[in-house]
Amino acid sequence: MAYFGRIISFSVLFLLVALACEARVLLQSSGFVQTRNTQFTLNGSPFFFNGFNSYWMMNVAADPSQRSKVSDVFSQAAAVRLSVCRTWAFNDGGTQALQISPGVYDERVFQGLDFVISEARKNGVRLILSLSNNYKDFGGRPQYVSWARNAGAPVNSDDDFYTNEVVKGYYKNHVKRVLTRINTITRVAYKDDPTIMAWELINEPRCQVDYSGKTLNGWIQEMASFVKSIDSNHLLTVGMEGFYGDSMPEKKAINPGYQVGTDFISNHLIREIDFSTIHAYPDIWLSGKDDSSQMAFMLRWTTSHLTDSETIIKKPMVFSEFGKSSKTRDIVQVQGIHS
């Protein structure tokens, strides 16, 4: 979700794993997280986890005087047994950019990401690292398209991010640069570091010029194959919100009244994608609805996606973002969903 000042991006990410029970396996220091059918595994055993979003970590850690803030978050997370953190591995153009221009990087900011990974490792926290953004925040699709336009490429809208060869080349170069980065602290290449649980292609991809999900599907297939050609160790996901598309028209009724050019089913059936994700922002998606209506939606939304991940996609699912307005006075009791 694009940044909204009044939205609390709850520090507890509801990382719901398909078919998960409440049992958990303590994070071990070695081994890559893998999947087996609808379960995550670590060193051959089921891996259950809870986690949180802290998108800002790399940029804060770019300033050595501020790094204690990152260390504190990881130590506090470990103390309450939050074992996965989702954060950005991108900042394209603009203030304190990681990628200043196509292929040009600020080493100081990259060392901030090195520190984030190192501190996560020290505290037994694994990372989901997102490689780009759908929105203009931290650059994302708009910045890539702007770079291509300035280079003379025939691009007209942000949706050209998914089809223009120049833009796709910029994105692939960034992916390769990040995955092959050798951490200046641990001396381990990112692609070889089990501290990283998974890569995420892009945060909340949307494609307004093709609501069927087919344009995005082609891009996911191409980029997922590219990522796996460089890094076969780590899990990979898309970064989707969970909107249904044309592959199962009857499922569109689950969407909050509109489509965004994604297809939860077909986009996650791609072989190189290892697990599915959903997000939920009921205050924004169901603006004007009361808490009871929003809760009813949340139960349908979550149950439908858990079921589809288990029975159709046959991969684990992570509930990786949830936001609730700070203006809500009453705390709505959320009833757990048990498989």
Residue type, 101: S
pLDDT > 60? residue 298: yes
**pTM of the full predicted structure?**
0.90
Q: Is the pLDDT of residue 30 over 80?
A: no
The answer to the question of residue 330 being in a domain is no
Amino acid at site 156 = N
| pLDDT reported for residue 159 | 98
Domain for residue 336, yes or no? no
Q: What is the 3-state secondary structure (H, E, C) of 192-248?
A: HCCCEEEEECCECCCCCCCCCCHHHHHHHHHHHHHHHHHCCCCEEECCCCCCCCCCC
> Does 138 score more than 80 pLDDT?
yes
At 61 the pLDDT is 99
Q: How confident is residue 1, by pLDDT bands cut at 50, 70 and 90?
A: low
Q: What are the C-alpha distances in Å from 25 to residues 45, 112, 165? A: 8, 30, 43
- 323 and 9 in contact (C-beta within 8 Å)? yes
Of 1-5, 32-36, 171-175, 198-202, minimum mean pLDDT range: 1-5
Q: Is residue 279 part of a domain?
A: yes
In a domain, 263, yes or no: yes
> Does residue 136 fall inside a structural domain?
yes
Tell me, yes or no, if 204 is annotated catalytic: yes
Domain containing 287 — which CATH number?
3.20.20.80
Q: Note the pLDDT tens digit of each residue in 270-287.
A: 999 999 999 999 999 999
Quote the domain boundaries for residue 31: 7-325
Q: Which residues pair with 303 in a beta bridge?
A: none
Answer yes or no: is pLDDT of 67 > 50.
yes
What angle do the packed helices 214-230 and 165-179 form, to 10 degrees? 30
124-148 mean pLDDT: 98
Task: Name the residue with higher pLDDT: 26 or 214.
Answer: 214
Categorize the per-residue pLDDT at 12 as very low, low, confident or very high, splitting at 50, 70 and 90: very low
6 versus 307: the higher-pLDDT residue is 307
* pLDDT digits 0-9 by tens, 143-158: 999 999 999 999 999 9
pLDDT level of residue 135 (50, 70, 90 thresholds)? very high
Instruction: Tell me which residue of 113, 49, 46 sits closest to 77, measured CA to CA.
Output: 49
321 has catalytic annotation? yes
Confidence of residue 11 (pLDDT cuts 50, 70, 90): very low
Is residue 331 included in any domain, yes or no?
no
Which of these is catalytic: 119, 204, 222, 250? 204
Residue 332 domain-assigned? Answer: no
Confidence of residue 320 (pLDDT cuts 50, 70, 90): very high
Q: Is the dihedral of CA 165, 168, 174, 179 positive or negative?
A: negative
- Specify the pLDDT at position 325: 74
| pLDDT per position as a tens digit, 177-221 | 999 999 999 999 999 999 999 999 999 999 999 999 999 999 999
* Gap between the Cα atoms of 275 and 259, Å rounded: 21
Which of 119, 200, 241, 321 is an active site residue? 321
Lowest mean pLDDT among 11-25, 51-65, 122-136, 196-210: 11-25
pLDDT for the residue numbered 327:
66
pLDDT of residue 326: 67
Counting residues of the chain whose pLDDT is more than 70, the rounded percentage is 87
Contact 62, 112 (CB under 8 A): yes
Q: How many domains does the chain have?
A: 1
Q: pLDDT by residue (tens digit) across 256-273? A: 988 899 999 999 999 999
The answer to whether position 122 is within a domain reads yes
DSSP 89: S
